Amino acid sequence: MAIAIWANAPLQCAPPCCSISRRNWQLKFSANSFNLKRKCLFINNGYGSLPVKFQAITGDSGDPELIEDGNPLSSELEQAKIALKATEEERSRLMEELAKSEVKNHEYASIIKHDKILALAELEAAKSLFNTKLEESIKEKFALESKLVLAKQDAVELAVQVEKLAELAFKQATSHIIQDAQLRVSAAEISAAETARSMEEQMRKTTEGTLSAIVDQSTDAVNKALYAAEQASNQARKSVAAITGDRNLMDEVQDVRAKNVELENSISDLECQLLITKSEVDRLKSELDQALARAKASDLRAASVEKALAELQEVAKKRNFQKDELFKSLLNKMKKEAAEREKAAVKAFESELEAIIAAVQAANETARLKDQAYTRRYAALQRSLQASEAASEVWKQRAENAESILHGERSGEENYVINGGRIDLLTDKDSQKWKLLAEGPRREIPEWMARRIRSICPKFPPRKVDISKALSAKTLSLNLPKQDEVWSIAQEKPRESDMLVDHVFEKEIIEKKRKALERALQRKTVKLELVPEQPKLEPGTGTGREIVFQGFNWESWRRQWYLELAPKAADLSHCGITAVWLPPPTESVAPQGYMPSDLYNLNSAYGTVEDLKQCINEMHAQDLLALGDVVLNHRCAHKQSPNGVWNIFGGKLAWGPEAIVCDDPNFQGRGNPSTGDIFHAAPNIDHSQEFVRRDIKEWLNWLRNDIGFDGWRLDFVRGFSGGYVKEYIEASNPAFAIGEYWDSLAYEGGNLCYNQDAHRQRIVNWINATGGTSSAFDVTTKGILHSALHNQYWRLIDPQGKPTGVMGWWPSRAVTFLENHDTGSTQGHWPFPRDKLAQGYAYILTHSGTPVIFYDHFYDFGLRDTITELIEARRRAGIHCRSTVKIYHANNEGYVARIDESLVMKIGHFDWNPSKENNLDGTWQKFMDKGSDYQIWLRQ
């Protein structure tokens, strides 16, 4: 049997001795025990292919013969031996590379093992951190529970004390009324008793006198009658004696008649006296009746007094009952509020506990998922290691196959396929694996990966079908690609919908969530442990330590302002700013935003609603409050009415003329009269309408909850009553609110008047109308600073020794500023003196009130470092909106004041320091020295 070999492709060999002549050659072997067979072998050496055809040719002698085109050639055998020797050398080199590959595999295994140890250590560290956080959370829970119990006890004790104090106050309030009523009743009773006693005494005296007179007269009359009867008896006896004694009977009779006449006269006199006595008795009776009537009247008055007293007692009783009811209702309300606060505290604690539990569960879940991710990663690394080991075995098997083929040790018909620099044996067991290794991933490779593969893998030469072309090819090299340049599953970039991709994405998401939860838990723990919560002192003032930054000017709408302002949040927070005042967010007829139309459309000239949300989120990420500039006084219409007046609104709040005040002369409103000044450029909204207030409240809450604003800057609040502002603020519950109440100061002869009490009183009246729920810009202080800083520092103290402006009367509601988008920027309606800006900021940043910093001054005028340093002085001194101000000097030369007990500042060019002040004790250290502009000292 003879074997014929045709080379149809170039055989690439590194040594020059391995080149083959460009002729067809045949190798002839003799064989008696097997039939003619043909086998096609395709050998891949990494850069070229050698299709070799073996043909068995049987000779007469049975020995193999080497023929060239039908003639024996002994020299070709030598060349074949040389080629075989080159092949053996190539095999040796391949075995060396295989050994190197095994060494690299061992290195990979050690690296994987090291990574596994690191992963386990990191997992243990995460578990220990989680356990520590959990213990801290449990301790914090117990501390909160103890605080809650103490708060409950304090609330109960406070309720008992309030009840006792209320009872004592009620008694004190009602005791004087009862005592007064009792005194009045006693006085009335005493007066009635005295009147009755006097009348009774008078009647008694009068009756006794009358009766005694009557008795005396009657006694006299009876005595007279007895005397007359006795005389008559004596006369009769005399008459009898005369008769008997022979006297003159006629004389006696005459005497008797005379006596009778006298007796009759006496009786008539007695009757007259009786009549007189009777008339006197009648008079006394009438006087007695009158006295009785007066006594009865006195009784009636006493009864009326008693009735009045009873009514008074009834009224007092009703009042006492009402006060009892009011006190009970107040007490019940207080108890209810205490219960609600307790419930709220419990609910807040429960929610906090639930949040902590959720965080713990999330941390557990994160740890579990991290364990799973590490497990998957370890499994993937193990699979990669196994794949590397399998690849090494395959390379070894390929070398053995090549060696056996070259030595003719393998028999049978077997097909070999050249693919991508590998000789792959297509067996049923490993066909899919080799297909994956050979053809790459299961899905189409993306363009970016294809470019990467092409950049590290050279192009393969075209497959040759002719031995002459194969021998004439110049690409005869056996340099194989490096192992890290060959495509591998372990180095494959994750793809969508792949299991490995899902695991990797899941791992990344879980890792992000874990880190976010750890940061949130750490911030919450630090906040609860180290930074006690600062309670909200009063509505509309936040914590009292706000420093507001106006984050725009009149020309900011010309750029994508939200995208430009958001990156500055970190810098503002680092400089000490606590709140950023953003421009009006709504769609507006004027690009600056102060002529709003559709309130729910937040795609404005400053950017889209997504840009606005991103900007607010960036502010919140830097712990900054976002204050929205809301225009509530007026709104631009979308349509004209049938008579051509623009008073029909569109969008979600589709109002009509009934939402416009009736005294707006330009827009024919059908609402109620305005409660403030008229803004003539747009329809003025009637806030007395219930549907208007309801819609505005919903809009403000939408801005708070959905968009993310924390507070409000209220535009042109002179146009409507402050009572409506109070209602809007109570409904939206902002962290901070500022009202723009701007009117003119008092001038005389072109000069600013010293007394500006009327101006600041109007601002204070508006703040008071809001119930103190909103602050207001201290326009008074701005106007006075314009003149005071030009060597008229005496303007900075009022007759009571307090600061001028709103900060002197109501500092917690005074928002001090030097300039804004209206007064400065390109409008320049009332610009602050450019050369006095540093002094102005030194004044407002060291005094009470809430200072506002203008964007242009901070970023465009070169005052950033100066303002930052002043903010730091304010922070170190602990100055807030209610800080006390003690003014020592205010004259033409300068101004000196002490704020609280921790900061002293001087403005002006006169020579002064704390050691020269007799009434200023303590040790002071100079913090800032700007020469004649200003100087600041802090107490050591």
Whether residue 203 contacts residue 288, with contact meaning beta carbons closer than 8 Å, is answered with: yes
Evaluate whether residue 371 is within a structural domain.
yes
Cα separation, 102 vs 393, whole angstroms:
10
Lowest mean pLDDT among 168-182, 647-661, 873-887: 168-182
Q: Give per-residue pLDDT as tens, 558-579.
A: 999 999 999 999 999 999 999 9
In-domain check, residue 218? no
Q: Would you place residue 473 in the very low, low, confident or very high pLDDT band (cuts 50, 70, 90)?
A: low
What is the Cα–Cα distance from 544 to 546, expressed in whole angstroms? 6
pLDDT tens readout for residues 346-374 = 777 777 777 778 777 877 787 787 777 77
The pLDDT of residue 746: 93
Structural contact between residues 677 and 684, judged by C-beta atoms closer than 8 angstroms? no
> Is 368 inside any structural domain?
yes
Q: Has residue 274 been placed in a domain?
A: yes
Give residue 478's pLDDT.
Answer: 45
Question: For residue 550, is pLDDT > 80?
Answer: yes
The mean per-residue pLDDT over the stretch 793-802 comes to 95
Q: Is residue 126 situated within a structural domain?
A: no
Which run of H or E residues covers position 26?
Answer: strand 25-27
CB 683 within 8 Å of CB 720? no
> Residue 743 in contact with residue 776, Cβ under 8 Å?
no
Helix, strand or coil, per DSSP, at residue 829: coil
pLDDT digits (tens, 9 = 90+) for 888-903: 999 999 999 999 999 9
Residue 333 lies in a domain: yes
H or E segment at 938? strand 934-939
Element (H, E) at 464: none
670-676: long-range contacts at Cβ-Cβ below 8 A with a sequence spacing of 24 or more? 674/719, 674/720, 675/720, 675/721, 675/724, 676/633, 676/717, 676/718, 676/719, 676/720, 676/721
The token pair that represents 317 in the structure block: 């009783």
Backbone dihedral angles phi then psi of residue 72, each to the nearest 5 degrees: -70, 140
When divided into structural domains, the chain yields a total of 1
Query: What percent of the chain is modeled with pLDDT above 90?
Result: 40
HSE-up of residue 883 (Cα within 13 Å, Cβ side):
28
* Segment (H or E) for 485: none
Structure tokens at 161: 């004390």
Residue 850, strand partner residues? 815
Mean pLDDT of the chain: 76
Give the mean model confidence (pLDDT) for residues 763-792. 95
70, pLDDT greater than 70:
no
Distances from the Cα of 411 to the Cα of 41, 42, 57, 235, 426, angstroms: 12, 15, 16, 211, 16
| Mean predicted confidence (pLDDT) in 818-830 | 93
What mean pLDDT do residues 772-781 have?
96
Which tokens is 125 given? 């560290």
User: Residue 92 is inside which H or E element, if any?
Assistant: helix 74-244
pLDDT for 472 equals 59
Active site residues: 715, 740
In a domain, 808, yes or no: no
In 3D, which of 108, 112, 105, 106 has the Cα closest to residue 378?
112
How would you classify the pairing of strands 67-68 and 49-55? unpaired
Token readout for 105 is 């595999």
DSSP 706: I
Q: Are 658 and 670 in contact (CB under 8 A)?
A: yes
Query: CA triplet 670, 673, 677: central angle to 5 degrees?
Result: 125
Q: Please work out, in degrees rounded to the nearest 5, the angle formed at the alpha carbon of residue 704 by the alpha carbons of 698 and 707.
A: 105
Domain limits for position 323: 267-394
In a domain, 369, yes or no: yes
d(CA 90, CA 870): 80
Per-residue burial over 662-678, b if 16 or more Cβ lie within 10 Å, else e, is: bebeebbbebeebbbeb
Predicted pLDDT at 904: 96
- Is residue 390 scored above 60 in pLDDT? yes
Return the number of other C-beta atoms located less than 10 Å from residue 702's C-beta: 16
